[in-house]
């Protein structure tokens, strides 16, 4: 099987919603057609840095403008699809929300079916992917909201 390298970026955009630290998340359909909640992210475009891609992807998939606070983690994993083995690296950043109204209408790929603010304290319980749950834990520690 041919090997393909992919790089994506995204992360946690945080805001105080009704005085509660919250994270913008999106709902996507998995390969089985089921809805999964996940962090907004996507592929880098030509000439784009991971930081630029994270800001752009979060805006496209949630409607939220954010500014990067810091890098949280880079996750790499392998999966198979379309007769290829794919090695994917995802750079996750922590962003401060500069807007708060969620929309998925600007997602050019139309992958995001819904977007929601979820409390940072409990968002990990709703995320489909263990790696993303770990990224939330890193953000909570950084923001001094650990257990």
Q: Is residue 118 part of a domain?
A: yes
What confidence tens digit (pLDDT) does each residue in 67-91 have?
999 999 999 999 898 899 999 999 9
pLDDT for position 147: 54
| Whole-number average pLDDT of the chain | 94
pLDDT for position 7: 97
Full residue range of the structural domain in which residue 50 is found: 3-142
Q: What is the CATH number of the domain that holds 78?
A: 3.90.79.10
Work out how many domains the chain is built from and give that number: 1
**Distance between CA atoms of 87 and 98, rounded to whole angstroms?**
33
Q: Is residue 136 part of a domain?
A: yes
Q: What is the value of pTM for the model shown? A: 0.91
What confidence tens digit (pLDDT) does each residue in 10-63 have?
999 999 999 999 999 999 998 899 999 999 999 999 999 999 999 999 999 999
**Distance between CA atoms of 96 and 88, rounded to whole angstroms?**
26
Q: What does the chain come to in residues?
A: 147
Backbone angles phi, psi at 129, to 5 degrees: -110, 130
Q: Is residue 66 part of a domain?
A: yes
| Beta pairing, strands 20-29 & 114-119 | antiparallel
Q: Is residue 147 part of a domain?
A: no
Indicate the pLDDT class of residue 106, thresholds 50, 70 and 90: confident
């Amino acid at each position: 099987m041919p090997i393909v390298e992919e790089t994506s970026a995204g992360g946690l955009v945080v805001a105080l919603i009704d005085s509660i630290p919250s994270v913008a998340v999106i709902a996507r359909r998995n390969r089985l057609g089921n809805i999964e909640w996940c962090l907004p992210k996507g592929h880098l475009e030509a000439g784009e840095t991971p930081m630029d891609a994270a800001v752009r992807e979060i805006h496209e998939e949630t409607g939220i403008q954010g500014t990067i606070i810091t890098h949280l983690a880079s996750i790499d994993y392998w999966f198979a699809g379309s007769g290829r083995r794919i090695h994917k690296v995802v750079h996750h950043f922590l962003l401060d929300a500069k807007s708060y109204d969620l929309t998925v209408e600007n997602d050019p790929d139309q992958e995001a079916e819904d977007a929601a603010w979820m409390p940072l304290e409990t968002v990990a319980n709703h995320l489909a992917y263990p790696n993303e749950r770990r990224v939330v834990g890193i953000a909570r520690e950084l923001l001094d909201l650990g257990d």
